[in-house]
A and B are shown apart, each in its own frame.
Chain A
Amino acid sequence: MTALTVPVGQDRDLRPLPWRKMAWITWRQHRIALAGVAALLGGGAVYLLIMGLSIHHSYAALTACHPASSDACGNLVGNFLSTYWMGAQITSVLLQLVPVLIGAFVGAPVLARELETGTFRFIWTQGFGRARWAVAKLTLLAVAVTAAAGAFSVLYAWYIRPFLAAAVSQQSSLAGEIFDLKGIAFAAWTLAAFAIGALAGLLIRRVVPALAATLAVYAGMAFATTLFLRQHYLAPLVTNSPGGPPGNGNAALPVSQWYTGPNGKPVSQAVINHLLQGFNPTTTKVAPNAFQTNISPQQYLAQHGYTLWMSYQPASRFWPFQWIEGGWLLAISLILIAATIWLVRRRAA
């Protein structure tokens, strides 16, 4: 305010209005949602911690076993997997839901509740100004949920590490159900869900439909990323080695495979199927219930000049992929939050 527009002395009693004033308001209005996030992540963390300690204990015994190729050590690995692997897989699948739950239940109500109950007419006409209000609220909540998710994913990374290690190598760290729970991806997905929720709340103006829309949009994005997008972040490597990609067991993420014919050109699956009709290996009985064939389909095809090629993403690309995924999710989140603030500023209420 300038002295030109307002008589001197009029506004002596005006106090400054720093941004931190919004912290109390944000906390007071969203503490139940934030407590829900704390309960969800806290409960998950306790579970990961308890299971993780016992997993790491068994894993330590497993890695201490010498020689590693002995039957006794093989049994240890088998026991380890049968005890923990199913639980780890279920845990990983369930944790996929956490970012969208946080995003929907914290992000969607921020604006939808104000618009649904009419309180935006109260808060948007206060001296703080509606654009600043939106900036402050969305920033504080976004930082809170992103930080909480980031801390949680560190714990998950520790929990899942034995299953990805060389001695067990049950899954690639790039695999769909693990990649986005580790590194920076988990926090980035949580931030994206929050940003989707906030914008959906502003556009839809009602809490429950905004929640549903957030779930739908997030699910579409997550499925598309896992199934189609992620494997193309960097050009995949190609191998025709019969053993598949170099490295341990499942460490790499397979992208696709195809055959080439004697002339080196790719051939269709129909050609291969036709060729395999002539595949007639000799089977010998080596034990009462065990049979052995003298030749594998792979070897049979190789004899006829057909080669199996495989494209894959090596496990060493975990961090580059994390930065790529984290980067575009962060960019989308910032765009959505900026769009939300811009709409709050200009929308006809």
Chain B
Amino acid sequence: MNVIETTGLGKRYRGTWALRECTLAVPEGHVVALVGPNGAGKTTLLNMSVGLTAPTEGRATVLGGQLAGSAAALDGTAFVAQDAPLYKNLSAGDMLHLTRNVNRRWDQRYAEVRLAELGIPLKKKAGKLSGGQQAQLALTLALARRPRLIVLDEPLAMLDPLARHDFMASVMVAAAEDDVSVVLSSHALAELERVADYLILLSGGRVQVTGEVDDLLACHRVLTGPAAEADDCAARLRVVHARRGEAQAHLLVRTSGADPSVDPVPPGWEAHPVSLEELVLAYLRAPGAAALPGPVRARDAEGVTR
């Protein structure tokens, strides 16, 4: 089952396309990182997949074909929007009661136990909680709905490093123990690297990279060698991004597959495995390069990076 599936999805705001020709299929059971520069269309994609925004073209379904925003989709999907909006004048307990009243599935005991573990008093107003506690309360409200898909839009933006760590730990526990698929957008690449096993990279309103993190890492590597040979070498490889020093050049290249023997390392060059953060940064710096779907020619990608 695909937890999110989009075909030709697009959204136009006053003549400007925020997202265009977005075709995705995210299988269940993953923690999906949605990354991309500001204005890439991340929030638009998430809003459309939870039914907040109606697409201009194409369609989005969740949880195996339920139209986004339909009653069946809403029952199984929980969404925590950017800045974790809560009714600030309601107490945490009232927020639980309110959310219970508008959902067909609700686990009150789970919610209460979780808030107690987090040290969030039920009587305290949501607006008086710290930023981290508000984010945790919003996450609790989402998890107590027992969703099969939880969508988090920039959940870490307002949090300090410790709160980020705690928040992501909570998400990971839920994903592991309750078998919830998670889709989260974030700029915090370091945090994403620890938790995400699926990547969607948006750029300029289009999908640039998508796939399982392990697969993506396996078919990318960094080649380090003499700067003088870099152009020569790059012409024969699919270079996503090239970084040149005075003596040495670093080329992040895409291989034909996970098997390194298919793409031999040029003599005089060294190959290193790539981290998710490096990979994402390379693609962010090269908006013209696309890892999936379809290959790109090296010169095109190289040309854009200059």
B236 touches A (CB below 8 Å): no
- Contact across chains for B75 and A14 when beta carbons are under 8 A apart: yes
A122/B103 contact (C-beta < 8 A), A346-B54, A349-B47, A349-B52 known: no
Nearest CB to that of A133 among chain B residues? Answer: B102
A1/B101 contact (C-beta < 8 A), A28-B94, A348-B13, A348-B54 known: no
- Contact across chains for B71 and A125 when beta carbons are under 8 A apart: no
- Contact across chains for A122 and B81 when beta carbons are under 8 A apart: yes
With a cutoff of 8 Å between Cβ atoms, the chain B residues found around residue A28 in the complex are 90, 94, 97-98
- Contact across chains for B85 and A1 when beta carbons are under 8 A apart: no
**A324-349 Cβ-contact flags toward B at 8 Å (1 or 0):** 00000000000000000000001011
B104 touches A (CB below 8 Å): yes
With a cutoff of 8 Å between Cβ atoms, the chain A residues found around residue B47 in the complex are 121, 349
- Contact across chains for B101 and A117 when beta carbons are under 8 A apart: no
With a cutoff of 8 Å between Cβ atoms, the chain A residues found around residue B54 in the complex are 346, 348
The residue from B79, B104, B138 contacting A16, defined by CB atoms under 8 A apart: B104
**A123 CA to B102 CA in the complex, in Å?**
8
- Contact across chains for A129 and B71 when beta carbons are under 8 A apart: yes
**B153-169 Cβ-contact flags toward A at 8 Å (1 or 0):** 00000000000000000
- Contact across chains for B71 and A121 when beta carbons are under 8 A apart: no
With a cutoff of 8 Å between Cβ atoms, the chain B residues found around residue A11 in the complex are 75, 104-105
CB within 8 Å of B: which A6-37 residues: 6, 11, 13-17, 21-22, 24-25, 28-29
**A133 CA to B52 CA in the complex, in Å?**
14
**B127-144 Cβ-contact flags toward A at 8 Å (1 or 0):** 000000000001001000
- Contact across chains for B74 and A122 when beta carbons are under 8 A apart: no
**A117 CA to B98 CA in the complex, in Å?**
17
With a cutoff of 8 Å between Cβ atoms, the chain B residues found around residue A25 in the complex are 98, 101-102
Closest beta carbon of chain A to B237's beta carbon, Å: 43
The residue from A16, A126, A348 contacting B74, defined by CB atoms under 8 A apart: A126
**A348 CA to B51 CA in the complex, in Å?**
10
By DSSP majority rule, is chain B's interface helix, strand, loop, or mixed? loop
A280 touches B (CB below 8 Å): no
Nearest CB to that of A6 among chain B residues? Answer: B72
- Contact across chains for B86 and A119 when beta carbons are under 8 A apart: yes
With a cutoff of 8 Å between Cβ atoms, the chain B residues found around residue A128 in the complex are 74, 101-103
Nearest CB to that of A18 among chain B residues? Answer: B101
A1/B71 contact (C-beta < 8 A), A25-B98, A119-B86, A346-B54 known: yes
A246 touches B (CB below 8 Å): no
**A296 CA to B69 CA in the complex, in Å?**
77
**A99 CA to B102 CA in the complex, in Å?**
31
With a cutoff of 8 Å between Cβ atoms, the chain A residues found around residue B102 in the complex are 17, 21-22, 25, 123, 126-128, 133
Closest beta carbon of chain B to A251's beta carbon, Å: 51
- Contact across chains for A349 and B94 when beta carbons are under 8 A apart: no
- Contact across chains for A17 and B103 when beta carbons are under 8 A apart: yes
With a cutoff of 8 Å between Cβ atoms, the chain A residues found around residue B53 in the complex are 348-349
The residue from A22, A125, A129, A348 contacting B101, defined by CB atoms under 8 A apart: A22
The residue from B64, B72, B99 contacting A126, defined by CB atoms under 8 A apart: B99
A5/B74 contact (C-beta < 8 A), A121-B81, A127-B104 known: no
- Contact across chains for A15 and B87 when beta carbons are under 8 A apart: no
**A14 CA to B79 CA in the complex, in Å?**
18
- Contact across chains for B105 and A13 when beta carbons are under 8 A apart: yes
A124 touches B (CB below 8 Å): yes
- Contact across chains for A17 and B104 when beta carbons are under 8 A apart: yes
**A348 CA to B52 CA in the complex, in Å?**
7
A118 touches B (CB below 8 Å): yes
- Contact across chains for A119 and B52 when beta carbons are under 8 A apart: no
**A13 CA to B81 CA in the complex, in Å?**
26
With a cutoff of 8 Å between Cβ atoms, the chain B residues found around residue A15 in the complex are 104-106
**A113-152 Cβ-contact flags toward B at 8 Å (1 or 0):** 0000111111111111100010000000000000000000
Nearest CB to that of B138 among chain A residues? Answer: A122
- Contact across chains for B81 and A127 when beta carbons are under 8 A apart: no
CB within 8 Å of A: which B232-288 residues: none
**A30 CA to B96 CA in the complex, in Å?**
17
With a cutoff of 8 Å between Cβ atoms, the chain A residues found around residue B97 in the complex are 24, 28
A125/B50 contact (C-beta < 8 A), A1-B71, A28-B90, A28-B98 known: yes
Nearest CB to that of B141 among chain A residues? Answer: A122
The residue from A14, A119, A122 contacting B104, defined by CB atoms under 8 A apart: A14
- Contact across chains for B103 and A118 when beta carbons are under 8 A apart: no
**A127 CA to B79 CA in the complex, in Å?**
11
With a cutoff of 8 Å between Cβ atoms, the chain B residues found around residue A126 in the complex are 74, 99, 102-103, 145
**A13 CA to B75 CA in the complex, in Å?**
11
- Contact across chains for A118 and B81 when beta carbons are under 8 A apart: yes
- Contact across chains for A118 and B71 when beta carbons are under 8 A apart: no
**A9 CA to B95 CA in the complex, in Å?**
29
Nearest CB to that of A23 among chain B residues? Answer: B101
With a cutoff of 8 Å between Cβ atoms, the chain A residues found around residue B94 in the complex are 28
- Contact across chains for A122 and B85 when beta carbons are under 8 A apart: yes
- Contact across chains for A125 and B90 when beta carbons are under 8 A apart: no
With a cutoff of 8 Å between Cβ atoms, the chain B residues found around residue A117 in the complex are 85, 88
**A288 CA to B236 CA in the complex, in Å?**
123
**A46-76 Cβ-contact flags toward B at 8 Å (1 or 0):** 0000000000000000000000000000000
B residues near A (Cβ < 8 Å) are 11, 13, 47, 50-54, 64-66, 71-72, 74-75, 77-79, 81-83, 85-88, 90, 94, 97-99, 101-106, 138, 141, 145-146
13 A-B pairs besides A22-B101, A29-B87, A349-B53 with CB distance below 8 A are A1-B71, A17-B104, A24-B97, A121-B79, A121-B81, A121-B85, A122-B86, A122-B138, A124-B52, A133-B102, A346-B54, A348-B11, A348-B53
Closest 3 CB pairs of A and B: A121-B81, A128-B102, A127-B103
- 16 pairs from A and B in contact (CB 8 Å cutoff): A1-B72, A11-B105, A22-B101, A28-B98, A121-B47, A121-B79, A122-B81, A122-B85, A122-B86, A122-B87, A125-B78, A125-B79, A126-B102, A127-B75, A128-B74, A129-B71
